[in-house]
Every structure is written in C-alpha cells, then in structure tokens.
Chain A
Amino acid sequence: MPKHYTIALAGNPNAGKSTIFNALTGSHQHVGNWPGKTVEKKQGLAHIGGREVAIVDLPGAYSLTAYSVEETITRDFIVHEHPDAVVAVVDATNLERNLYMVLQMIELGAPLVLAVNMIDVARSQHFQIDLSELARRLGGIPLVATAARQGIGLAELQDAILHVSNRECPAPCPPLLTYPEPVEAAIADLVARIEADAGLAGRYPARWLAIKLLENEADMIDRLKATGHTALLEAARRHIARILAAHGEDPETLIVDQRYAFISQVFRATVVRPAEKTRTPSDRIDAVLTHRWLGLPVFLLLMWIVFQVVANVSAPMLNLVDSLVAGPLSRWVAALLGAVGMGGTWLESLLIDGVLAGVGGMLVFVPVLFFLYLAIALLEDSGYMARAAFVMDRFMHMLGLHGKSFLPLLVGFGCNVPAIYATRTLEHQDDRRLTAFMTTFMSCGARLPVYVIFGSAFFGAASGHLIFAMYMLGITIAILTGFLLKRTLFKNKPTPPFVMELPPYRLPTLQSVWLHIWERTSKFIRGVTTTLAAASVVVWLLLAIPIGQPLDRFNQVAPSDSLFGALCRGLAPAFAPAGFDRWEATGALVTGLAAKEVVVSTLSQIYVGASDSPVQAADEPAPTLLDDLGAIVRELGHAALMTGQELVNIVPRTLNLIPVLHVPELNLLPEHASIENDTALEAALRGAFTPLAAVAFNVFVLLYTPCMATVAAMRQEFGLRWTLFHAAYTLGVAWLAAVLVYQGGLLLGLG
C-alpha cells in the first residue's frame, strides 16, 4: 500500500489555484471552513500516477507574513502539516510580485513545485520567460509552465508533484538568499538559541523562525510569548535595536529589501517584459468602470441589479419552496404517519409543525443564497469586486468600514441571512464581524409587512412616513453601532492598509461560478439545518405544553393556555416602558424570532383568529399523490417562468428610476390578489395599541434579533460567543430605542 500523499496549492489571489485544483480533483472535492476561521477550506482527492492524493487548496495570499487570516492559514499549514509537496502557483504576467511569496516558501523549506500559470496570457502579451534559468536561479526547483484554464501543462505538473513527493528528504542545501552581514550574524545567534530548544526546533525551521523574529512579526512574537520563550524574544529585540543603532535601518527593512533585490535580479535575468506596455482590453474596460464621473453611477447601477436579483428574482422560487413544504410535503408526511396509524397524533404535529417547518425555514433561503452567490461569483471572478471597493472606499471608510462592506450592507435590505454570508468578500476578520453586525440593522424585506400593517392601521395615507422612518432608523443605528464598536471592541486594532490589487478583468467560467454557488449553498444547508429545526421544535414544544390545564391536553391548547402564553405573560411587563405590555404583542415578538414576517401572522391569529393552517380542511378530499406531483410540476414551471419575468423586469425597473420614464413591466401571469383579513386585524390593532406604542413596537421589530436563520448564519460564520453577544446587543438596543421613542413621545405630549 503506497503512502497517502497530501499536496497543498498555494499562491497569490487570482493566480489560478482554484482552476488547477478543479482540474486535478474533478468533482471529488469537499469544502469546509478552516477551524475557527471564516475562510473556505477546499479539499479534494486526485489520482496521480495510480495513487490517491489529497489536495488542499490554500487560501490566496500575498506573502507568508500572517497579515490576513488567509496568510496565517497558509503559513501554518505549510509549517505544521508538512505536506508532501506544495505547488506554488504564480501568474506568469506578474512574476515579480508573485515570486516574493515563492521566495518565502523556499526560505521555509517547503517541498516546492513551481507552476508558472497563465503562460498563455504571458505569451500573447509577448513576455519572454526563460523558464530553465528561472528554475536554476531559484535553487533548481521543479518548474512547470501551465495554462490551467486550457488544461495545458497539467500532466507535467502531476509528474512533478509525484517526483517531489517521492523524493527522499533532500539534504539541506545552503540558503538561497543570504542577508547583509549584521543580519546574518543575528540570524546565526538566534538559530543557535532556537536549536538549543528541542521543543521549538521541532516545531519551526530554525533559520526561518530567526528571520521572522528579526522581521519583528507580531503574530510569531505573540505565539512565542504564549509559550514562554521570553529569553529568545529578548535576544531578538536586542539584535533589532543593535542593528538599527549601527546601520540606521531596522533588520525588517534590510530583509525585505534584500528579498526584493534578489527577486529583481532573478527577474531581470529571466524575463523580458514587452517593450511597450500595450493597452489591454482590461485597461479599456477600467477606463469606463472606474472613471471619474462614470465610476459611481456604474457602481450604483450594478449594485441595484445585484439587489434586484437577490431580492426579487429569487422570490418566485422562494414562494415555490415555501408552498411545497407547507403543501405536498406536509401532506405526504401526514399520509405516511396515517398509514402506520399515527395520524392526528402529537407526533404528526411535532414532525410537521416542528421539524418540517424548521427545515422549510432553512430551505426558503436556498433560492436567495443561490442568486446572491451567483452575483458574488460573477463580481469576484470578473474582477469587478475590487473596483467596487475602490470606488466606494472613501464613503465606507468614513463609517470605519472597508469599500467592500457596501455589498453586504446593501444585500441586508433584501435579507440579512445572505448579507452575513456576503461579508466573506472582506479580507479581515474584524471587518467581517463589524460589517455583519451592522447588516442586521438593515431593514430586510420580511420586516416590511409589519410596518405596512401598522402604518395603514394607525396612519392611513401617511403610512409611508412610518416605513421611511424605520429604514432610516435602521441605517442610523447601524452607523452608530459601527462607531461604538470601533471605539470599544476594536479599539486597539490599527486600520489595515488599503493596499489592494485591481486584478485584470477576466471572463468568469461557467464551471468556476457554478462551483462557487454549489460549495457555498451546500455549506449553508449543512451548517444551518439543525439549528433551525431545533429552534422550530422548541417553539412547537412551548406551544404544545399546557399550563393550568390537565397535561393530557398536550398539543391541544390555545396559545394563551400554553407554556408559550405563560412565558409571554411573564415577559410582557418588561415592555411596559415601551407602551406595549400585552402578552399578545410579546408573543408576536417571540414567534418573530422564527422569522419576522411571522409577527403579522401571529398577531392576526391571536387577534382575529384567522388560522392559515396548511393542514387540509376535513371536508375537502385530500389530493392524491398524482394530483400533488402534477401540481408540483405546474408550480415549478410557473416559478421558472416568473423567475425569468423578474429577470427581464430588472430592465424596466431600472429605466423607471429615471423620473420621466414609465416603461411597463412584463406581466405574464398576473398574481391573484391575496384575500387577507387585513381590515379586521387593523381594527384589532387600533384597539390594542396607542399610535405611539405602535411606533415603539415597530422600532423594536426593526432592531431586535432578526430571526433564527440570521442567528444560525452568525453562528456558522463567527462562532457562538460572538452570536450570543450580537443577540444580546440587538435585544438591548431594540428595547432601549423602543422605550426612548415611547417615553420621549409621552414627554412631547404625543401619547
């Protein structure tokens, strides 16, 4: 049985790692997260020379300096996991910068194979690259030229990978790169100290660690502090001070300069760049997309389209999923249970109203996320995402955010769940956390029905003011939250420099876009289903357990007589300062945790008693399986048609933003107006709330913990502690704001 090899792919962002990864592994891949990090961990199996080889796609990084999450992961993997070979993927048209990280990997002693990718682009732009000289100057490392997108050079790459992996541990060669004398002397001293410490020497290559210490690298210093290596750190500090005093430069600068001097030498000896830098198509596209005057309108237009796609184009499929779960799926479960003699029992209710409702609550997000990831994949793979950040950074920076934070915040107006996942486009964990925190105050589509019903109940024609005020309040609170967190939690974190590459525009490939969508959506399903089903079961239980009633009425009590009702009655006084202390209002807020649109249906169930239970009315004959299947096919067709219609309608909707235009929208199948009990509910609400209390209630709905799906998304992305903090913070802010509104209103005599 031959040894099982592990191969890692590393390199700068956009060098083509994922493309090589996909080509090597085909469809045998698995995407997870790096432990504790919101960075994708892609792993796959490949068959190379008749062996199974595990391939790990390390996140794109510019160096091994632990500057971003990606870089820490890449470095730790190479240092601690000892892959049998590391394929360094470099962009042939950008060798000078790409070689910096390669050099660091060589210094680290990684078993390297160099894949000089995009060789097709380099040739068409008339670069001349002397590959064998390049390999020789880099210490004779195996080197393969590839055009991964076209599948060129992959067979040779596989051979090289096998060759390096099969190799017995090579004799340690002299370091490729020596530093100026004072630095080398310091390195020698530190190496001796490191090698004297068995624990350290086993963990890190000694020379490499010595260089890191002289580079004064915070991450490494923290780690050694944690393991109590103060003497070594002290020695490094003295060396740094001495070199600085004697040469007027810190060793860090000397080291970086030396690396670049080496790289320029290698570069000049091996690459002839095209004499006249040709104006590439990419430059011409950029001339429009980041243009002084056009840049902003183009950006806003693209973001508007993304928003339309995520919020509206996904709607028909969302409705389809919703109705499938509530209709046929629930009926089939009921029928199945009926067949084994369990029909009508509490078990049926648990499965349908608890588990299935929870799973359905997860499934409805799948279409939304599908379209979000489609949009993100297109923006990222084409290269526009970096431009969007470039165009928007000035504004976002004023809010303490990064240019890339705009997209998640915008998506938040559609739905907070995809907004949280969209924070992944940001580079730094802190930016991600802060942005995710703020997105949940963006008033999502599910909160709108609450404002609408209260608005028309209390303010009639002026209800638009309430709605507008809610959106503005959400934005204001988000901004204030940003300032607050920046000054407290993230106080001592320096703003990372905005050095960002604007990669050349590329046409996204279907395969890569599809893989992005598939990987991320399936990860959502795996990560969130259990949480949502569990939450749904808990709510079901609360509603089922009778209080002050015989226990045999389990699952047969009115909400007010259930544990749920008792709990809400207990909680209700907490809302007295905000003007709504009735248990019904509290109950609506609690069920609103499942999903905010439920607030309205709960109020209407409690006040009007109109139940929209999915279970068939007894006198109607239940549809047969065949009926159901037919209906599903019909509905699927309908949803597909509507999706297409929504997609087409982006055009008139966009044109209609221009005040004088009135382009009609496509309307293939008029939606039948839903007959709802709104007027009855409105009357009941007017009886239960004063107008001021109604506003306070809406403020609370806007600001409190968005919904279980958001909580689950938060947990998946940022861990439990952060999620609990977020939940507590939003609850606190919501309560405070609602109380302020109500009490302030009373003071102003608006009661």
Chain B
Amino acid sequence: MTLFETTALRTLDQLLPGQTALIKQIGGRGSFRRRVAEFGLIEGAEIQMIQTAPMGDPIEYQIDGQMLTLRRAEARVIVIAIE
C-alpha cells in the first residue's frame, strides 16, 4: 500500500473534532511509545478526536471509552488511517 491510495494516511494531529481513525504507527522515543501504549494507544486501536483545548493545544481524544490528552507535537508522531 502506498500513501494516499485507498485510505488516507495522516498524523493524529490532523483529525477533526468527532472524526475517528485507526492507529497505524507510533513514532517517537521508546519511552514515549511505551507510555502511550499503556493508555491503549497501540497499532490497530480506534481513536476519536474530541476537541482541542481553548488555546489550540493540547488535544482531547477518546480511546476505549476513556478521555485522553496529547500535545499536538506528540500527536504528530502518530500515523493514522482515516476510516
């Protein structure tokens, strides 16, 4: 599969409020990957963007029924496929 083929691959910070996507790949340092994994952010998980904070950063997401926050810069290293 190449980029921009069937499903659009993007990074998590590009999701719009209410949009849902599948996590494809998590970049960043090992400790970052492990940390977010502990909150259920792993490859194949479904994630929904809820809203951004009033000043535009961080961003609130829903995953497995829980509400989580990520800074924009952190969301940028997570690759997603929009359904």
Asked if A and B bind, the verdict is: yes
CB–CB B53/A393 < 8 A: yes
CB–CB A257/B43 < 8 A: yes
| CB neighbours of A390 from chain B (8 A) | 53, 58, 60, 69
CB–CB B39/A62 < 8 A: yes
Complex CA gap A94/B63 in Å reads 10
| CB neighbours of A498 from chain B (8 A) | 58, 69-71, 74
If A215-B34, A292-B54, A394-B55 touch, does A499 touch B39 (CB 8 Å cutoff)?
Answer: yes
Q: Nearest chain B CB to A27's CB is how many angstroms away?
A: 33
CB–CB B67/A501 < 8 A: yes
Judged by a CB distance under 8 angstroms, whether A497 is at the interface is yes
Interchain CB contact (< 8 A) of A500 among B29, B34, B56, B69: B69
Q: Nearest chain A CB to B77's CB is how many angstroms away?
A: 10
* B interface footprint on A485-528 (CB within 8 Å = 1, 0 otherwise): 00000000010111111110000000000000000000000000
Judged by a CB distance under 8 angstroms, whether A672 is at the interface is no
| CB neighbours of B68 from chain A (8 A) | 499-502
| CB neighbours of B30 from chain A (8 A) | 216, 250, 252
CB–CB B54/A296 < 8 A: yes
Interchain CB contact (< 8 A) of A252 among B34, B58, B69: B34
| CB neighbours of A425 from chain B (8 A) | none
CB–CB A499/B69 < 8 A: yes
Residue of A nearest to B72 (CB): A394
* B interface footprint on A730-749 (CB within 8 Å = 1, 0 otherwise): 00000000000000000000
If A290-B53, A393-B53, A393-B71 touch, does A260 touch B33 (CB 8 Å cutoff)?
Answer: no
CB–CB A93/B65 < 8 A: yes
Q: Nearest chain B CB to A308's CB is how many angstroms away?
A: 23
Q: Nearest chain B CB to A413's CB is how many angstroms away?
A: 22
Judged by a CB distance under 8 angstroms, whether A321 is at the interface is no
If A252-B30, A499-B39 touch, does A295 touch B66 (CB 8 Å cutoff)?
Answer: no
Q: Nearest chain A CB to B14's CB is how many angstroms away?
A: 18
| CB neighbours of A3 from chain B (8 A) | none
Complex CA gap A395/B57 in Å reads 9
CB–CB A97/B66 < 8 A: yes
Complex CA gap A386/B54 in Å reads 14
Interface centre among B34, B38, B58, by most chain A C-beta atoms within 10 angstroms, is B38
Contact residues of B between 31 and 56, Cβ < 8 Å to A: 31-43, 45, 51-56
| CB neighbours of A65 from chain B (8 A) | 34-35, 38
Q: Nearest chain B CB to A511's CB is how many angstroms away?
A: 26
Judged by a CB distance under 8 angstroms, whether B83 is at the interface is no
If A65-B38, A218-B31, A497-B71 touch, does A97 touch B64 (CB 8 Å cutoff)?
Answer: yes
Complex CA gap A277/B68 in Å reads 16
| CB neighbours of A260 from chain B (8 A) | 37, 40, 42, 45
Q: Nearest chain B CB to A434's CB is how many angstroms away?
A: 18
| CB neighbours of B31 from chain A (8 A) | 67, 218, 494
| CB neighbours of B41 from chain A (8 A) | 499
Complex CA gap A260/B41 in Å reads 10
- Size of A's binding interface in residues, CB under 8 A: 44
Complex CA gap A503/B68 in Å reads 9
Judged by a CB distance under 8 angstroms, whether A293 is at the interface is yes
Complex CA gap A40/B46 in Å reads 36
Complex CA gap A216/B71 in Å reads 25
Interchain CB contact (< 8 A) of A100 among B38, B54, B60, B74: B38
Complex CA gap A296/B55 in Å reads 8
| CB neighbours of B53 from chain A (8 A) | 290, 295, 390-391, 393-394
| CB neighbours of B56 from chain A (8 A) | 394
Complex CA gap A503/B65 in Å reads 11
| CB neighbours of B40 from chain A (8 A) | 96-97, 100, 260
| CB neighbours of A62 from chain B (8 A) | 38-39
Q: Nearest chain B CB to A324's CB is how many angstroms away?
A: 45
| CB neighbours of B65 from chain A (8 A) | 93-94, 96, 273, 277
Residue of A nearest to B74 (CB): A497
CB–CB A97/B55 < 8 A: no
Contact residues of A between 554 and 602, Cβ < 8 Å to B: none
Judged by a CB distance under 8 angstroms, whether A625 is at the interface is no
Contact residues of A between 61 and 79, Cβ < 8 Å to B: 62-63, 65, 67
CB–CB A397/B54 < 8 A: no
CB–CB A295/B34 < 8 A: no
CB–CB B66/A501 < 8 A: yes
| CB neighbours of A295 from chain B (8 A) | 53-54
| CB neighbours of A101 from chain B (8 A) | 38
If A257-B42, A397-B71 touch, does A502 touch B57 (CB 8 Å cutoff)?
Answer: no
Interface centre among A215, A394, A497, A503, by most chain B C-beta atoms within 10 angstroms, is A497
Contact residues of A between 279 and 306, Cβ < 8 Å to B: 286, 290-293, 295-296
Residue of B nearest to A395 (CB): B55
| CB neighbours of A500 from chain B (8 A) | 68-69
Judged by a CB distance under 8 angstroms, whether A132 is at the interface is no
| CB neighbours of A290 from chain B (8 A) | 51, 53-54, 60
Judged by a CB distance under 8 angstroms, whether A256 is at the interface is yes
Complex CA gap A391/B37 in Å reads 24
Interface centre among A277, A393, A496, by most chain B C-beta atoms within 10 angstroms, is A393
Closest 4 CB pairs of A and B: A394-B55, A502-B67, A295-B54, A256-B37
Q: Could you list 24 examples of A-B contacts with CB < 8 Å?
A: A65-B35, A67-B35, A94-B64, A94-B66, A215-B34, A256-B33, A256-B34, A256-B37, A256-B42, A260-B37, A292-B51, A292-B52, A292-B54, A293-B54, A393-B53, A395-B55, A397-B57, A497-B35, A497-B71, A498-B69, A498-B74, A499-B35, A499-B36, A499-B68
Q: Given contacts A65-B34, A215-B34, A390-B60, could you give 8 more A-B pairs where the C-beta distance is less than 8 Å? A: A65-B35, A67-B38, A277-B65, A393-B57, A393-B71, A394-B57, A494-B29, A502-B67
**B-side interface residues toward A, CB under 8 Å?**
29-43, 45, 51-58, 60, 64-71, 74
